[in-house]
Chain A
Amino acid sequence: MSSPRYWRGIPQRYRLEAGKCRKCGKIYFPPRLVCDECKSREFEKVNLPKEGKILTYTIIRVAPSQCTDQAPYAMGIVELKDGVKILSQIADCDFDKLEIGMPVRIEFRKIYQEGEAGIICYGYKCVPV
């Protein structure tokens, strides 16, 4: 993970900053330059809500190299209170209690680190309510 790329994403990674179309109200996470609904280029900054529910989930058992130590871990597509959907790990959960519709909230966690000497990457995960 390159420093500039990590740093550029901090408002989204840490604070879930999104863009809300001023014309039609659609919320984009991450923010973008043009609204695909109404083609407007005017957006206002909003922060996503921290509560939501699980739409679907899986348990990653064969993990990518930066996460092998954390396997197995649960991941889910979560629909937040304002309708925006995100993909994140679901931490601190008992796998057999996972179910579609389960309420979760967002917590700040370490996502991975670049070995013993590289940067540490933080971001959002969901935990059961």
Chain B
Amino acid sequence: MVGITGYGAYIPRHRIKVEEIAKVWGADAQAYKKGLFVEEKSVPGPDQDTITMSVEATFSALKRAQINPQKIGAVYVGSESHPYAVKPSGTTVAEAIGACPDVHCADFEFACKAGSEAMFVCLGLVGSGSIEYGLAIGADTSQGAPGDALEYTAAAGAAAFIMGKDNIIAEAIDTYSYMTDTPDFWRREYQFYPRHASRFTGEPAYFKHILGAGKAMLEKVKMKPKDFQYAVFHQPNGKFPQRVGRLLGFEKKQIETGLLCPKLGNTYSGSSPMGLTAILDEAKPNDLIFMVSYGSGAGSDAFIWRVTERINQVRDSAVKTREMLNNNKSYLEYGTYAKYRGKIRKGE
């Protein structure tokens, strides 16, 4: 049996509302809220980045896994906003949690599915016996260009999973990966903001790959949507995951628990992984969870998880995702938000 032995998430406390952004750009806030099904998003402070959030999410995962960090054999951080272009985020995370020096490390990148990739690879390494425990993190502080539609949703957050064979709280039943070359959303080297191909990011991109991976996954294990208690999909806005869930045959109540986007925004590589942590905060032993990530470029990783008895023993050992989402919030106005996100041009 291979699966998750510990999980954790981190959400910064700052938020900005859709109305606040729309006000500055003269846009119709209600139209955006309805169209995207998003109310507000998280904003990282000037002293937070992919690395700092990854470290804190990992501390929560370690509290639940209850293992000595020296036993972690691999540290993988998936993000599209690694603080360095060359120098892995994983090295700082590994040092901070005390996993160095006998550990493999690499940073992962594939737009929004960089986190699920890290999870995918860790499962493989643990399953093959190469490592005892593997740490997989999806974290982002991604940017949306000022005034662009993506600015309303580009948010910050992290989810960390420690994969292992012992003391599992959610077993990885199976995985499936589906990928094609699709230029729907990208960022060139040295560009500050990403670009996207508008409506092309929908059907030929998001939907094609999630449906592709999702259908193939269900086929592979010969299961049906109604066999699952929970489903979580990549959440670029609050609408897409609900629609793709319906298309695959899932119902609203299966998707609700893992749907964080309306109050969190799109945490990119953290998106479906964080949704999974919110589900694990509530799921019962033997519950089945269906998860499909999506990364532009484009591809999807599908996972089926079965929750074990042990979840009840460790779930409360660390802070829960919706606790961070709903409590201790501090709302920003656009000026401070722009300052924190480095969107204001300054002198040398």
Direct A–B contact in the complex, CB atoms closer than 8 angstroms: yes
> Which residues of the other chain, A, contact B84 by a CB distance below 8 angstroms?
120
Could you jot down 29 A-B contacts, CB within 8 Å? A10-B95, A14-B95, A15-B95, A15-B98, A69-B46, A70-B46, A70-B47, A91-B45, A92-B45, A94-B330, A107-B52, A107-B56, A108-B56, A108-B59, A109-B47, A109-B48, A109-B52, A110-B46, A110-B47, A110-B49, A110-B51, A110-B52, A111-B47, A120-B49, A120-B51, A120-B83, A120-B84, A122-B96, A125-B47
Bound-state CA distance A99–B101 (Å) is: 40
Q: Does B239 contact A (CB under 8 A)?
A: no
Nearest 5 A-B pairs (CB), nearest first?
A: A108-B55, A14-B96, A109-B47, A110-B47, A109-B52
Report which A residues bind B (CB closer than 8 A): 10, 14-15, 69-70, 89, 91-92, 94, 107-111, 120, 122, 125
> Which residues of the other chain, B, contact A15 by a CB distance below 8 angstroms?
95-96, 98
Bound-state CA distance A23–B330 (Å) is: 47
A125 to chain B, nearest CB (A): 7
> Which residues of the other chain, A, contact B45 by a CB distance below 8 angstroms?
91-92
- The verdict on A122 contacting B52 (CB below 8 Å), with A14-B95, A69-B339 known, is yes
> Which residues of the other chain, B, contact A111 by a CB distance below 8 angstroms?
47
> Which residues of the other chain, B, contact A110 by a CB distance below 8 angstroms?
46-49, 51-52
A53 to chain B, nearest CB (A): 19
> Which residues of the other chain, B, contact A120 by a CB distance below 8 angstroms?
49, 51, 83-84
A49 to chain B, nearest CB (A): 14
A108 touches B98 (CB 8 A): no
Bound-state CA distance A109–B92 (Å) is: 11
**CB nearest to A120 among chain B residues:** B83
Q: Does B215 contact A (CB under 8 A)?
A: no
Q: Mark B28-49, 1 if CB is under 8 A from A, else 0.
A: 0000000000000000011111
B95 to chain A, nearest CB (A): 5
A-B contact count (CB 8 A): 45
B14 to chain A, nearest CB (A): 9
Bound-state CA distance A34–B148 (Å) is: 59
A122 touches B56 (CB 8 A): no
> Which residues of the other chain, A, contact B104 by a CB distance below 8 angstroms?
none
Bound-state CA distance A84–B227 (Å) is: 54
Bound-state CA distance A125–B59 (Å) is: 15
Q: Mark B107-145, 1 if CB is under 8 A from A, else 0.
A: 000000000000000000000000000000000000000
- The verdict on A122 contacting B92 (CB below 8 Å), with A91-B47, A109-B52, A110-B47 known, is yes
> Which residues of the other chain, B, contact A89 by a CB distance below 8 angstroms?
47
Bound-state CA distance A6–B83 (Å) is: 17
Bound-state CA distance A111–B45 (Å) is: 12
Bound-state CA distance A92–B330 (Å) is: 9
A124 to chain B, nearest CB (A): 10
Central interface residue in B55, B96, B98, by most chain A CB within 10 Å: B96
Q: Does B13 contact A (CB under 8 A)?
A: yes
> Which residues of the other chain, A, contact B98 by a CB distance below 8 angstroms?
15
> Which residues of the other chain, B, contact A94 by a CB distance below 8 angstroms?
330
Bound-state CA distance A15–B96 (Å) is: 6
A71 to chain B, nearest CB (A): 10
Q: Mark B12-32, 1 if CB is under 8 A from A, else 0.
A: 010000000000000000000
A92 touches B13 (CB 8 A): yes
Bound-state CA distance A114–B154 (Å) is: 26
Bound-state CA distance A115–B32 (Å) is: 36
Bound-state CA distance A125–B12 (Å) is: 14
**CB nearest to A124 among chain B residues:** B96
> Which residues of the other chain, A, contact B92 by a CB distance below 8 angstroms?
14, 122
> Which residues of the other chain, A, contact B330 by a CB distance below 8 angstroms?
92, 94
> Which residues of the other chain, A, contact B55 by a CB distance below 8 angstroms?
108
Contacting A at CB under 8 A, from B91-109, are 92, 95-96, 98
Query: Could you list 6 further interchain pairs (A-B, Cβ under 8 angstroms) beyond the known A15-B96, A70-B47?
Result: A10-B95, A69-B339, A110-B48, A110-B52, A122-B96, A125-B47
Q: Mark B41-73, 1 if CB is under 8 A from A, else 0.
A: 000011111011001100100000000000000
B13 to chain A, nearest CB (A): 5
